[in-house]
Chain A
Amino acid sequence: MTAVEHESVVAAFAEEIGRSDPVAVVGAKTQWLVGGEPAEGVRLVRAPAGIISYEPAEMTVKVRAGTTIGSLNEELGQHRQMVPFDVDDRSATVGGVLSVGRSGIRRRRYGHIRDFVLQATYVNAVGDVISAGGPTVKNVSGYDLCRLMVGSLGTLGLIAEVVLRCVPVPTASRWFTYDGDPRNLDASLFQASSILWNGDTTWVLLEGHEADVESQAGKCGLQPTEGAPLVPKHGRLSKRPSDLYGLTGDFLAEIGVGVVHVGVGHLETSGAVEQTGARHLHRAVKERMDPKNRLNPGRCPIL
């Protein structure tokens, strides 16, 4: 495809979104209920799919929002690169994962998924195509509207395409279990990719050079295991890392991060904490960017 044809894909998406009636975007519906279901009867659109360009030597990829994480990582994997968007279902789309804004279980090592977005092209409430950020790995030109899009549940704009930063696939990647207090590991492991704890057993993912993985595991008394534990799906809590140790019931906590995955029957099901005193500001942002509340009506990322 030529550059002009690429632009026409975005333009067609903008056309489909239109300028006035309520509209919601659907990806693979893997996290469809987060933040509420879109209002009844709202028109559904799908973002375009496909990798637009991939530059392994730049470690960046330009990809349409409807592309699945699975197919993206397959392509990147050919060059031993990846985006660490750990999803349970590989059919989840790039746009969906970013709009929901929940990082995967390797956040401890790779950071928040929002930090992988270099540029975002989206359609705003009045149907204009907006581009924010820049295509290079480093950029501070203008306001960082990309950050605003991540986690917004499509309530500020519908993402058409993004430029993402990639990282190398580690040469070794291995799961272990540990019987002791996970706090010991938190302090003594350098850059563990994931430490998960269910109140009883601790699972650890070590990634990097083979020999480092072995020596770290040996030093801390970790036992090799098949793979990641089953992650409870019923709810998700947001805590400080130090607040995880009083948890009871069916849960799996991300040590050092503070995300807690909880199962059916857990007392708490959601626990995001408000950005103190800023609620009116969040509302004002929404009102300013989508005064008619036409983008994903019914969904709300604000407490």
Chain B
Amino acid sequence: MHRTGPIVELVSTISDAAETIQQLDTSQLVKHLVAAIGADSVKSGRLDQHLYAKDASVLRGTSSVVTLPRCTADVQAIVRTCTANGFSFVARGSGTGLAGGAVPLDNAVIIATARMNAVEEVDVENGFAWVQPGVLNLDLSRALLPYGRHFAPDPSSQQACSIGGNVANNSGGPHCLAYGVTSAHVLAIEVVMADGETVMLGGLDAEPSGYDLRGLFVGSEGTLGVATRIAVRLTPNPPIVKTLLLDFVQPNDGAATVSSIIAAGVVPAALEMMDQRAVEVVEAFANAGYPTDAGAVLLVELDGMADGVAADVETVRRVAHANSVRSVRVAADDAERDLLWKGRRNAFGAVARLKPDYYLHDTVVPRTKLQEVLEKVYEIADRYELLAVNVFHAGDGNLHPILAYDSREPGVMDRVHAAGAEIVKASLDAGGVLSGEHGIGLEKRDYMPLMFTSADLAEQDRVRSVFDPADSANPMKVIPSGSRCGDFAGHTGSGHTIPEGAWV
């Protein structure tokens, strides 16, 4: 497609001349898009191009035109216009992604779903709701509240992130420990494919025929098409919820408690850990009564029926005491519980008290290796003179090391990236994986060979190419460019413009 076309090559070689040509070409594209979906849904000003050129990562790309579709037909029209004019496209929810998934490369057209934000139908008996992709995660659970149901995946960014983004990234959240990540909560997806056709993946009956293309689409980071309607599974709200705050002097006692709770046969609804620095900044922000002198705290949530929850609370207490817990606080009411969670959910923002900028990592290690890898993280951060803060989904071994820094320091980004690379490698060495929930996107694309063989990657790309043979849906993400097999026509792998800050 256009990635190997003359325009792109010009852009990457003689930038000034390319600018003029690109400008011309974009104006044609804008004209076609305006004709297709109306002027108020097409934005091509410099400010819009700038705003939509990045997500919540440090990566920045270049967008050409930003579109704001209102319905599936709009998305189809946009996609068709893009392909007819040799442009690729990038679906975008709220731009809270941390792996550069929504960062446009090669002047891709942005398809922002913000206006497609209706909860179309709630069907309690059949346990689903049809939602448009731009519905925000927390808005969905609020809409389901009157029915005594919720959408289980609850990323810490839930006030801002969209269901479309959740589906594309197979997002998780604190409560995914017991309830499972997004894939387990999506029944069907209406997708506009790269050729502009609409298909339904999955279905509302118990066992839809065919391959589980729904499961393949979830987590595909916008590279298989644009999700335009999603049937999410409804989860009944648990009758009883207990939230415990465990306070440890020694961080390793906290980590040992995590795997001991699981080994004791209790799978909490959520099991989160914060290290000392995290507790300090969170408490300064939330005033929730977190013990600021603790070496580590665990936030444990147990839910279900009354007696089972009571028994689990006792098991957690027993395990924690066996691991030298200093105190166990059980939230007395919803207000106290909300306060504790408010601290946890705003932990990333609260890091701003330490340094103006932060880089949030995401890897998974076996739960039994948590302490070992955490120590490694501190050692790496020290060596690169960065501040490491850890607040993460400990129950499933999902580390979120935060490297806090000040971007005004010269050369600091090089240190941040080098430290990040070492953290990723340390996680893999411990038997872990590249990403637990933020995705591969651009950020970790070129680390994929650390986890997969070339045959594995060729297989992934083979499947991807069935959906998008011309590589126009969010191109150059997830799979490193060298993974193409000989049998894929049209991919020369040249003409890529990799944005600054990408780990290549």
Contacts and interface: CB of A to CB of B under 8 A. Distances in A.
Contacts of B209: 238, 272-275, 301-303
A151 B211 contact: yes
A212 B307 contact: yes
A137 B396 contact: yes
B210 A278 contact: yes
Nearest to A157: B459
B211 A140 contact: no
A137 B395 CA distance: 10
B210 A275 contact: yes
Given A132-B460, A136-B366, A141 B440 contact: yes
Interface in A270-297: 272-279, 281-282, 284-286, 288-289
Contacts of B219: 140, 143-144
Interface stretch (A37-45, A195-203, A220-228, A251-259): A251-259
B383 to A, nearest CB: 26
Contact of A216 (B305, B398, B436, B466): B305
A281 B220 contact: no
A250 interface: no
Given A136-B366, A210-B307, A148 B212 contact: yes
Contacts of A132: 456, 459-460
Contacts of A289: 459, 462-463
Given A57-B262, A111-B184, A211-B307, A276 B199 contact: yes
Contacts of B183: 115, 144, 147
A141 B219 CA distance: 9
Interface string A124-143: 10001111101111111111
Contacts of A303: 209-210
B459 A141 contact: no
Contact of B262 (A59, A101, A281, A286): A59
B305 A190 contact: yes
B466 A284 contact: yes
A285 B211 contact: yes
Given A134-B433, A258-B205, A289-B463, A148 B366 contact: no
Contacts of A52: none
Contacts of B364: 134, 136-139
Contact of A278 (B201, B262, B459): B201
Contacts of A56: 263
A239 interface: yes
Nearest to B193: A281
Contacts of B479: 142
B125 to A, nearest CB: 5
Interface stretch (B62-70, B73-81, B168-176): B168-176
Contacts of B180: 111, 115
Given A56-B263, A210-B307, A288-B465, A102 B207 contact: yes
Contact of B212 (A147, A191, A236, A277): A147
A26 interface: no
A151 B211 CA distance: 7
Contacts of A144: 170, 183, 215-216, 218-220
A152 B398 CA distance: 30
A142 B440 contact: yes
Residue from A140, A243, A275, A285 whose CB has the most chain B CB atoms within 10 Å: A140
Sort chain A's interface into a size bin. Answer: 35 or more
A183 B126 CA distance: 11
Given A238-B207, A241-B125, A57 B213 contact: no
B432 interface: yes
Contacts of B432: 134, 136
A238 B208 contact: yes
A174 interface: no
A167 interface: yes
A140 B439 contact: yes
Interface string B277-313: 0000000000000000000000000001111100100
A209 B308 contact: yes
B267 A167 contact: yes
Given A145-B460, A212-B308, A138 B172 contact: yes
Contact of A130 (B215, B267, B437, B459): B459
Interface residues of B, number: 90
B54 interface: no
A38 B397 CA distance: 42
A97 interface: no
B455 A143 contact: no
B304 A191 contact: yes
A100 B60 CA distance: 44
B438 interface: yes
B331 interface: no
B431 interface: yes
Interface stretch (B42-50, B107-115, B445-453, B496-504): B445-453
B216 A143 contact: yes
A258 B187 CA distance: 13
B341 to A, nearest CB: 20
Contact of B306 (A169, A212, A284): A212
Contact of B307 (A129, A215, A259, A278): A215
A141 B367 contact: no
B17 interface: no
Contacts of A168: 265-267
B495 interface: no
B435 A141 contact: yes
B307 A241 contact: no
Nearest to A142: B460
A301 B211 contact: yes
A88 interface: no
A152 B393 CA distance: 33
B405 to A, nearest CB: 26
Contact of B216 (A112, A145, A240, A284): A145
Nearest to A214: B307
Contact of B211 (A141, A152, A208): A152
A150 interface: yes
Contacts of A169: 265
Nearest to A131: B456
A151 B212 contact: yes
Given A57-B260, A272-B205, A286-B211, 15 more contacts: A135-B431, A136-B433, A137-B396, A138-B396, A141-B444, A141-B451, A147-B214, A148-B215, A210-B307, A212-B304, A212-B307, A241-B127, A259-B206, A273-B208, A274-B210
24 contacts: A57-B259, A80-B265, A134-B364, A134-B451, A138-B437, A139-B436, A140-B169, A140-B219, A140-B440, A142-B457, A142-B479, A144-B218, A145-B460, A147-B215, A148-B215, A148-B216, A156-B211, A190-B304, A191-B304, A239-B206, A241-B126, A285-B463, A288-B463, A303-B210
